[in-house]
Structure 1
Amino acid sequence: MSTLTGPVAARAVAPARLAPDAVALEPVDPARDAATLHRWLTHPASAFWRMGHLTAADVRDYLADVADDPHQDGWLGRVDGRPAFYAETYDPARVLLAGVHDAEAGDLGMHLLVAPPPHDPASRVPGLTDAVMAAVVRFCLAPAPVGRGAARVVVEPDVRNRAVAAKNAAAGFRVLREVEVTDGGHTKRAALSVCTRADFAASPLGTLAGRDGGPALAPHLRAELAEHAHRHLAAKALAELAHERLFRPEPVRGDSSGGARRYALALDGVTYRFAARTFALEHWVVDPASIVRTAAGDGAELPVDALRLVAELQPLLRIPDDLVATYLEELSSTLAAACAKRDRELTGASPQVPELLADLLPEEVDAQEDDRLRADAFQATEAAMTEGHPGFLANNGRIGFSLDDYRAYAPERGARTRLTWLAARREHTHLAVGDGLTEDGLYGGELSGAERAAFAHRLAARGLDPADYLYLPVHPWQWQHRVPITFAADVARGDLVPLGPGADEYQPQQSIRTMFNRTRPERHYVKVALAIQNMGFLRGLSPAYMRATPAINDWVAGVVDGDATLREAGFGVLRERASVGYTGDVYHRTAHPSAHRKMLAALWRESPVPRTGPGERLATMASLLHRDASGRSLATALVRASGIAPEAWLRAYLDAYLYPLVHCLRAYDLAFMPHGENLVLVLRDGVVRRVLMKDIGEEIAVLGERALPPGVERVRSVVDDDEKALAIFTDVFDGVLRHLAGILAVDGVLGEDRFWAVVADVVDRHGAEHPDLAPRGGTGVDLRAPRFAHSCLNRLQLRNTLQMVDLTDQSASLLYAGTMANPVARAVDVPVAP
């Protein structure tokens, strides 16, 4: 017996014109339907059924046997009430394919016979076979009682039946392999094929059978979502590039309302007009809805398109010609992510500010439940962030991710995944551990006993000695795209041995390659190499660079833990306790370094969860700059829910965040990279009580000549006092606080004058409490100076979107656009101390 046959060759390509409701199926009645099926089966078009020799009585007996068999069923199909086809469904594990097909739960076999075409071509119905095929597959897949509830439909047509092969393909069937099938004494070479619900929905016939226009393969890429994303990114481009003085919008005389002014920016061929408010530090808040783009000639209004805006700005931005497309691709990825983020918020898949606030203001629960809720709230906030870095335009580049990768691994998706583990031959791999930690202690804490036993067993089963290997976690994307391809030779010779996924589930963080343990939240973060291009860097990890990481972290932790001022402020660091990196590949043998040397390494960082107590909640500091799909600010919500005055709320935050950073810089020449993703806030009752700094090994610097342990020397970067001050001016004032000041001012929570007055008070308090560290006589880190150098982030990415800065000499990589007025400058510039 074959699958679909009948008159497909005569009208296989005709478009379907039958409504889905015109086609219906009912159980076959052998007595009633035998004569009809006998006429169909004896027609030459039904030759592949091999039943043309049967009499009408034989057909009746055959149909009765099918009806009596509990493992198969016969169905008469009607079109507009008239008999038009016959279908059979069967259990392929018990009928026909037993021993041939490895049936899975939910598999359902199917045969289809369409009535032969009428002799008169004018009587033929265009698209009949398409409509019938679509209806039968839909019937097989539809849940009971409407259909048969199959997970997959299985067919086995004769390989010679090309017309059927084309029809099956149109319905989404995928050929698994060719098999020999015997039925009724006849053996055929069959194309064993399957079709899932997803296969059918994505197929041409599945689209014709549906009522929703076909599969939504990228449902976030819709016009209304893209319109919002384009306006958001265009507003950000106008604001941040104006902030970096790449152009100067001109105010429209006499045109202002609600605190905002109208501005115009004339470019070659187009003019942009928009409403914006401006604040200290040349901070612009552009209203996305107000942006109007018009043609220079006739003034016709044009669509607002963030990508076109960058192309139109190119004469001013001066992106290198060979990198323009790369930058636009990163911006396109950022646009796509913005569409997806908004879609998730609007559909309720991602929490908005009221839900986040509720998580951060917990009710009293028992200690064990509080631990769980703390980790859940922390990760819900982490995944809810929509902006990425507040200053960069192309901040969600992720070049290398497919759509499936985005759904699986993008932080805002909040999905869980398992890391893939490799065994790396010890002689080619370096493991560095921090003070008080051993190799056994590391792996014993991060891997369960069952995992370690399984890994050792898998190595031994290959004839390898587990003692010769170290365990290296890799991102699942890195495993799929890099390890078996880029490092194929290393895997083949056994220097890298894939061990499979670990047991614990992890959630990607805002920094994308850092993974939080959801199964055991008290365990370490794992930071892994991820060879995608994202925000100015290929996100790898250098084994050589990370050898000193645990030692650097131990030194920083020692400084922080040993300082009474920092202890009182509750300031802490999340140490990177261990690092591992593989260097046995050929890329480490080439004359010049390359990104390929940064693809197989990982580190383990302390989790903040064990550092918190009852009633405390954790949140990424990026959340203070977050607005949801309705425009609500989480910072504003926290201030209003805290029950204290806005200035008191701000002071508590700055005492926990700014004050310790000022102290580290003045007391130890120690500068961190304190942007939103690198700080974890510890809140109680909606108020920031203390902060925990992370990403120590790669992003701290000692900016002076003070003595350092030998293994820590690489972090030294000697600069003058003015450049030291930029660790606060650029990274804190300009990188974080100007954005927060703008949010609170726009929301009517706290005017910017009062905001910066509180900032000045915190800076002055440090000077008063530590007079020996305060600037004097023109020396020292003076944070109340009248002006400071305007260091520009987007200019770095525009100059080289592949590598914004040289990590070994970041100071020399910086780009400046003159100086900016300091919002906490003294009213009169006088010496601070005699």
Structure 2
Amino acid sequence: MSAPVTVAVPSGRATGLPSVHPVDPGRDAAVVQSWLAHPASSWWGMPDHDVDAVRAYLRAVGDDPAQQGWLLRRHGEPIAYAETYDPATVLLTDVWDAEPGDVGMHLLVAPPPAAGASGGGRVHCLTSAVMRAVVEHCRDVLGARRVVVEPDERNTAVQRKNAEVGFRALRVVDVDGKRALLSVLDTGRIGRPDDDGPAAHLRPEHLEPAQRHLVAKAIAEFTHERLIAPRADGDAWVLDAGDSTYRFRARVHALEHWALDEASLTRTRAGSPVPIDAQDLVLALRAVLGIPDELLGTYLEEIASTLASAAAKHRRGGPSAAQLARGRSDGDVVASFQDAEAAMTEGHPAFVAANGRIGFGLDEYRAYAPETGGRFRYRWLAARREHTHLALAADRTEAQHWAAELDAATVAGFRATLERRGLDPAGYTWFPVHPWQWQHRIAVTFAPDLGRQDLVDLGEGPDEHQPQQSIRTAFNRSRPARSYVKTALAVQNMGFLRGMSPAYMRAAPAVNDWVAGLVEADPVLADAGFGVLREHASIGYTGDAYHRVDVVSPQRKMLAALWRESPVPRLAPGERPITMAALLHRDARGRSVAAALVEQSGLDAVVWVRRYLAAYVRPVVHCLTEHQLLFMPHGENLVLVLRDGVVSRVFMKDIGEEVVVVGDVAVPAGTERIVQPADDDEAALGVFTDVFDGVLRYLAAILDEDGVLPAAQFWRLVGECVDGSVGRTRPIDFRVPDFEHSCLNRLQLRNTVQMVDLSGQTESLIRAGRMPNPIGRR
């Protein structure tokens, strides 16, 4: 923002717009106070301020070098008050990645006169003229390239005026104690409304960078999985794909990880430039990718959906890497936790078709995609007990469970609904379902069950939830100490229809209890601060026709849910959580959260990485070699606990469906499905594939590319950590020279509908030879 303006030439005279003048607190406080006291100005939240309080407020604005107050006049009469501010230092410091030339703006227009008042009635289009005058003032006097506003999301009247002058809505954010619709105006577009509607993200300026990023990622990951092989050509690389030639610069890191320079990527056909297109690349590589003919359309649709999602993320922008690393300036750890969850742009670092979500329309994408940062309320059903299994952790009774997850008034309302229908509430239990699932699946696929009143619709619950990167899971924003809720969601996404099996859910709390008991009793894990977020309750309904026959079908996985502990109650003062996926995230300008965290900590990068590895890699290796436990420890399954920018400990989640016991270990009755014995080489792949290849190869390259820590030094630290983490029960040698290269995209390409059998995951894996071990003995 420009330096404060102390004297301004009144703007608007040449255009017939209102003129803009610096506010004079002594002279103007009374009129501004009268406007603020009017009910029409309730969005400012200052109805009780008297003239002295408003005068003090205006003076405080004027004394702040990052803010300015302005009075607008029409025919010499005051008609509006405006504030401008530097969004890099005021109000939006947590949610807006400010650039030079950005100006924030607030506007208060004089309320309409009362009926019969002297001086004339309402002036037609006055607010539009005021808005136009203010944004032109920001451009012409303050030198603004962009103007950013954050009206309350409920204030639809001002949002219409914003759109009329050219503001485009980006996303809903938490700021200044409200849910605000962050919106931006490029001052070169003043007066040109952003009228492309809900599909505005599909314009070329948003799709082109999405295409570029996805094609670069596809080339990198398909090369990593040895499906394609670019050839060197001078200081660049070339890939021939069908009738097209792709040329780019890249560095190749350990584990055959390709870091492509996206800006250098070009595509030509017969020597002439052609647009970069991810679907064209897939079709050109169809033979080597090996997609079955009958599933090709599904994969192409997931690619299209991933592009649409990336284009929407590009249009909305997001917080900077530094903002995500720093967290909320007001110390709100819950808000900063969920800011990061919504800011992630990648979906999954390895999968190319990572954001399929086939089944979501435009409205549903805005409501339920994690990157929108939206909120929703679960639909609740009453499910007849004889057809429903509610499983609970050993330390939780049913009464305790519902008391923890639902208010007494909500339960009373549920019971009253049943009683009005002449049903006995004692014969039912409560069942959360995702609103998309209710509308598209439950109310249709389970219509007979609703007709029999085996299922009864109870309406929306009161708590607002925010979607997480794991698309089926949501975080409780109304009561953050309450559990995450994970429900079946029958959309096709990243190689699976995202259902949940009632049979799997039945055993989930017992599995979690057993794993948590091992973790809590282990002094090595206690020293590392390692914890698990237990899935301490689950529910599944099997009274439908689909469970009356012994035939596997997607419909058998459409009515199940679980509750998982929130990390919030387990945080100490000075700690804040963040998804581990954030370590692999780059913001809109290419800056990494990992590098920002190292900088924020003030520590040497070696020390920072060593502490991260001790909190993450050490527990994973120890659990495998001491307890023969393998988790699924990828980015979205880990919650990092930060203190002063340093990872101090971690929480593991998603235990029930994904933990595996790889040795002959006694487990509680009913949980035997988690036992899948494997030899040392197979067991070690749980670390080599999921940790080294799935997380650390990306982080090592990011820190190296950003000049934070050379990759060779990073892998030396990994080797030291692994050496000190191996337990005595099964001392697996992780220093072997190479290991089998297990490939994730090959799984999805082989079967885009169900890429693995969850009951026998190791048998489903696809290997592509052996991979040199970056910590192997040479």
Structure-2 residue corresponding to 1:330:
302
Partner of 2:221: 240
Whether 1:339 aligns to 2:311 is yes
1:773 is displaced (CA, Å) by 4.6
Is residue 306 from structure 1 mapped to residue 265 from structure 2 by the alignment? no
* Paired position in structure 1 for 2:123: 145
- Any conservation in 1 of the 2:326–2:597 contact (CA below 8 Å)? no
Deviation at 1:212?
4.0
* 1:530-679 → structure 2 map (5 Å cutoff): 530-679=489-638
Question: In 2, distance between residues paired with 1:602 and 1:420?
Answer: 12
Q: Is this contact kept in 2: 1:424–1:495, CA < 8 A?
A: yes
Distance 1:818 1:303 in 2: 34
CA deviation map 1:441-497 (0-9, x unaligned): 111110001000000001100111100101000001111111111111111111110
Distance in 1, Cα, partners of 2:338 & 2:478: 12
Quickly say closer, same or farther: Cα 1:773–1:826, change in 2 above 3 A. farther
- Which of 674, 681, 685 is 2:640 aligned to? 681
- 1:110 corresponds to which residue? none
The separation in 2 between residues aligned to 1:627 and 1:333, in whole angstroms, is: 21
Unaligned 5+ segments in structure 2 are 1-120, 128-158, 165-190
- What amino acid does structure 2 have at the position aligned with 1:825? G
Q: Does 2:759 align with 1:791?
A: no
Between the aligned residues of both structures, percent identity stands at 59
Deviation at 1:145, TM superposition (A): 3.3
Alpha-carbon distance in 1 for matches of 2:769, 2:319: 41
C-alpha distance in 2 between matches for 1:583 and 1:773: 40
In structure 2, the partner of 1:760 is 719
Match among 251, 262, 280 for residue 277 of structure 1: 251
Give the Cα–Cα distance (whole angstroms) in 2 for the partners of residues 353 and 752 of structure 1.
21
SS of structure 2 residue aligned to 1:697: coil
Rounded Cα–Cα distance in structure 1 between residues aligned with 2:667 and 2:550: 31
Q: Does the 8 Å CA contact 1:624/1:635 hold for their aligned counterparts?
A: yes
Alignment partners' CA distance in 1, 2:760 and 2:308: 33
Deviation at 1:388, TM superposition (A): 1.1
Report the counterpart of residue 92 of structure 2 in structure 1.
Answer: none
Extract unaligned runs of 5+ from structure 1: 1-142, 150-196, 203-209, 257-261, 364-369, 776-780, 828-834
Corresponding residue number in structure 1 for 2:66: none
Residues 144 and 286 (structure 1), Cα distance of their counterparts in 2 relative to 1, 3 Å cut: farther
Q: Distance in 1 between matches of 2:195 and 2:325?
A: 38
User: Counterpart of 2:215 in 1: which secondary structure?
Assistant: helix
- 1:18-417 paired onto structure 2 within 5 Å: 145-146=123-124, 212=193, 214-252=195-233, 255-256=234-235, 262-295=236-269, 298-345=270-317, 350-359=318-327, 373-417=332-376
Q: Find the aligned partners of 1:489 and 1:442 in 2 and give their Cα distance.
A: 29
Taking structure 1 as reference, are residues 213 and 579 closer, same or farther at Cα in structure 2, changes over 3 Å only? Answer: closer
**1:356 alignment partner AA:** L
Per the alignment, in what secondary structure is the counterpart of residue 808 of structure 1?
Answer: helix
Displacement of 1:225 in angstroms is 1.1
- Residues 746, 144 of structure 1: alpha-carbon distance in 2 compared, 3 angstrom cutoff: farther
Q: CA deviation at 1:306?
A: 1.1
Residue equivalent to 1:67 = none
Cα deviations across residues 710-758 of structure 1 (Å, max 9, x unaligned)?
Answer: 1221101111100100010000000000000010010011111000000
Partners of 1:613 and 1:383 in 2: how far apart?
Answer: 24
The match for 2:774 is 823
Taking the aligned partners of 1:527 and 1:213, their CA distance within structure 2 comes to 36
Secondary structure of the corresponding residue to residue 360 of structure 2: coil
Distance 1:213 1:637, change over 3 A: closer
Deviation at 1:307, TM superposition (A): 1.2
Question: How far, CA to CA, are the matches of 1:700 and 1:431 in structure 2?
Answer: 21
Structure 1 residue 267: deviation in Å? 2.4
Give the distance between the partners of 1:270 and 1:334, measured in 2 at CA.
22
Judged with a 3 Å threshold, the aligned counterparts in structure 2 of structure 1 residues 801 and 333 are, in CA distance, closer, same or farther, namely same
Instruction: Report the AA paired with residue 466 of structure 1.
Output: P
2:619–2:725 Cα contact (<8 Å) kept:
no
TM value normalised by structure 2: 0.75
Which residue number corresponds to residue 18 of structure 1?
A: none
- Deviations along 1:91-123, whole A, 9 cap, x unmatched? xxxxxxxxxxxxxxxxxxxxxxxxxxxxxxxxx
Residue pair 1:416, 1:506 contacting (<8 A) in 2 also: yes
Paired AA for residue 711 in structure 1: G
Superposition RMSD in Å: 2.0
User: 1:590: how far off?
Assistant: 2.7
Cα distance change of structure 1 residues 471 and 213 upon mapping to structure 2, 3 Å threshold: closer
One-letter amino acid matched to 1:763: V
Query: Cα distance, 1:561 vs. partner?
Result: 0.5
Counterpart CA distance in 2 for 1:743 and 1:408 is 32
Distance 1:213 1:683, change over 3 A: closer
| Distance (whole Å) between structure 1 residues aligned to residue 192 and residue 643 of structure 2 | 51
Which residue among 791, 796, 804 is the counterpart of 2:755?
A: 804
Query: Normalization by structure 1: what TM-score?
Result: 0.70
Alpha-carbon offset, residue 147 of structure 1: 5.8
Q: Is the 8 A contact 1:472 1:580 kept in 2?
A: yes
Aligned letter for 2:261? Answer: D
**2: distance between equivalents of 1:146 and 1:284?**
60
Q: Distance in 1 between matches of 2:296 and 2:371?
A: 27
1:594-639 CA deviation, whole Å, 9 max, x = no partner?
0101111110000000110111010000000000100010000001
Distance 2:319 2:237 in 1: 35
Aligned residue for 1:540, secondary structure, equals: coil
1:159-179 deviations in Å (ceiling 9; x for gaps): xxxxxxxxxxxxxxxxxxxxx
**Rg larger in structure:** 1
Question: Aligned in 2, Cα 1:604/1:290: closer, same or farther, shift over 3 Å?
Answer: same
Give the counterpart letter for 1:314 in structure 2.
R
Equivalents in 1 of 2:465, 2:195: separation in Å? Answer: 34
Residues 138-164 of structure 1 deviation map (CA, whole Å, 9 limit, x = unaligned): xxxxx9632699xxxxxxxxxxxxxxx
Counterpart CA distance in 2 for 1:696 and 1:144 is: 62
Give the aligned residue type for 1:289. A
The residue number in structure 1 matching 2:486 is: 527
2:379 corresponds to which letter in structure 1?
T
Cα distance in 1 for partners of 2:400, 2:630 equals 31
Counterpart CA distance in 1 for 2:288 and 2:297 is 16
Question: Quick check: 1:352–1:384 contact (8 Å CA) kept in 2?
Answer: no
In structure 2, what is the equivalent of residue 733 of structure 1? Answer: 692
For 1:660, what is the secondary structure of its paired residue?
A: helix
> Aligned pair count?
601
Q: CA deviation at 1:268?
A: 2.2
* Rounded Cα–Cα distance in structure 2 between residues aligned with 1:732 and 1:226: 32
